[in-house]
A = this chain, B = another copy of it.
Amino acid sequence: MNFIEIFLNKEDKQPLYYQLYNYLVQGIQSGSLPAGEKLPGKRTAAGQLGVGVNTVDEAYQMLVAEGYVTARPRSGFVVNQLGQVVAPLPPTAVTEAPAPKKETIWRHSFASGGNDPTLFPRKMWNRLFREVLAEEPRLFEHGEPTGDIGLRTAIAGYLQGYRGVQCQPAQIVVGAGLEVLLGFLARLFAGSAVAVEDPGYPKAAHILANGGLQVVPVPIDEEGMNPEKLAASGATLAYLTPSHQFPTGVVMPVARRTKLLRWAASGQHVLIEDDYDSEYRFDARPLPSLQGLDGEGRVVYAGTFSRSLAPSLRIAYLVLPFWLLAQWQQMYGDYACTVSRPEQHTLARFIQGGHFYRGLNRMRNTYKKRRNLLLAALQTHLQGVEYTTQNTHTGLYFVLYLPGKNAPLIAQKAANASIKVRALNTYQRLQTTYPNTNHALVLGYGGLADEEIDDAAKALCNIIKQG
């Protein structure tokens, strides 16, 4: 063979040697360059192609390295017998990505997970990030698997002081969101049954199921998860939101907390306390955590900075009881922490410098104002309609109870009017459970701007009045 008919394009963004390599691979795969065929010598080839010898050499070396040809002393480069090559055929399998989920653009959104990203302290974050990059020489080496000690210490300080959590930094595991951390946790108990609140947070149930746990919905009542039904469920773990039950907003009273702790202690069971939204208690200091009442080490405490900083930062944490640390270490001791070290160190400085606490106060005031605006707007626009609001003290959502009204129908009509709102019963899997879920809407206000609230409430209330 000779290379005279091969055209290499010097204008192409692919380098010449790579063009040559591709040409020869195609020839070998198609059979036009059969096994045993000798390639021209490098100098000859270079002359025929009008390129340098180095170019040919690079292409030949790649072919050798990949096993397409063999370099034989004296006889040069010879095409190998490849067996039957799986050529890049037109694939028979699926060749298109599933259509991405279209994000609906809502006129108004009462989503319970809404928050206000404009409250994020960009300037301070940027400043601290720059400091971290300038001042920490070992930042780009491997860090500690459960998170660097500075951040774990800062988180422990916050949890001790503000959430009544009994913990040392050694008990804390930092990770890139509760999806990852609850997923890892689930693997430690693979095959076990975990009770989840019903109605409850569907995503948590989904994460725990993905991790290999058997998910058992257990009804809640007006004090949270029912302990008798939990005991009867056969579960050995329970996932709870005691500070502010999702989606009802129920705050679990201490007697109920005690009963659940006793269930866990007596059976060596585990309570997973998701302290979601606990930062946002408006009318009194936040309730201390369930973990803080636990003298037996049966609680895994879970928290996140998604709501107190930004959901797009992906920083969350678990507090593990001591006995669980060794198991965690055995499974995940060689895993790198899933939060980047520059961001870990930035957050540590952010907390230690007091910026986190000041930011929380600012956010709490902002959201409290929105809650008040929404309550006032409901009062105005629901005149003549029987309603009550429930559990308005904590978190960025509350329940609007509308006796006699069909809440799912109202939510549907609202959706038709481009207003996002969910009926309480859509979080429910079981038949008999929390009262009146068919007559209640879950109203989130974290994502509503102050000046939007009255309009949004008015539009929703008009639908309620018709519904």
- A residues bordering B, Cβ < 8 Å? 15, 17-18, 21, 58, 61-62, 65-68, 80-98, 100-101, 117-118, 120, 122, 125-126, 129-130, 133-134, 138-143, 166, 168, 170-171, 176-177, 179-180, 183-184, 187, 190, 203, 206-207, 210-212, 223, 251-256, 258-259, 261-262, 265, 283-285, 287-288, 292-297, 310-315, 321-323, 325-326, 329, 331-343, 393
Report which of B142, B311, B321, B322 forms a contact with A311, defined as CB distance below 8 A. Answer: B142
Count chain B CB atoms within 10 A of each CB in A253, A312, A325 and give the residue with the most: A312
Report which of B133, B166, B393 forms a contact with A65, defined as CB distance below 8 A. Answer: B393
A92 touching B296, Cβ below 8 Å = yes
Report which of B100, B210, B340 forms a contact with A314, defined as CB distance below 8 A. Answer: B340
B93 touching A284, Cβ below 8 Å = no
A283 touching B117, Cβ below 8 Å = no
Enumerate chain B residues within 8 angstroms of A101, measured Cβ to Cβ.
333
A171 touching B97, Cβ below 8 Å = yes
A258 touching B336, Cβ below 8 Å = no
CB-CB nearest in chain B for A179 = B335
Measured in the bound complex, the distance between the Cα atoms of B58 and A344 in whole Å is 35
B126 touching A140, Cβ below 8 Å = no
* Copies of the chain in the assembly: 2
Task: Report the minimum CB–CB distance from A248 to chain B (whole Å).
Answer: 15
Task: Report the minimum CB–CB distance from A284 to chain B (whole Å).
Answer: 5
Q: Assuming the A-B contacts A85-B258, A334-B203, are A285 and B58 also in contact, with contact meaning beta carbons closer than 8 angstroms in the complex? A: yes
A312 touching B342, Cβ below 8 Å = yes
B284 touching A90, Cβ below 8 Å = no
**12 more A-B contacts (CB under 8 A) besides A82-B255, A190-B212?**
A17-B285, A65-B284, A86-B262, A93-B297, A120-B140, A126-B134, A143-B312, A176-B180, A176-B314, A180-B180, A314-B339, A339-B340
B338 touching A314, Cβ below 8 Å = yes
Enumerate chain B residues within 8 angstroms of A333, measured Cβ to Cβ.
101
Report which of B83, B97, B118, B170 forms a contact with A322, defined as CB distance below 8 A. Answer: B97
Task: Report the minimum CB–CB distance from A187 to chain B (whole Å).
Answer: 6
Measured in the bound complex, the distance between the Cα atoms of B139 and A312 in whole Å is 7
Question: Closest 3 interchain pairs by CB?
Answer: A67-B253, A97-B170, A117-B140
Task: Report the minimum CB–CB distance from A99 to chain B (whole Å).
Answer: 10
A133 touching B143, Cβ below 8 Å = no
CB-CB nearest in chain B for A447 = B141
CB-CB nearest in chain B for A141 = B117
Task: Report the minimum CB–CB distance from A257 to chain B (whole Å).
Answer: 8
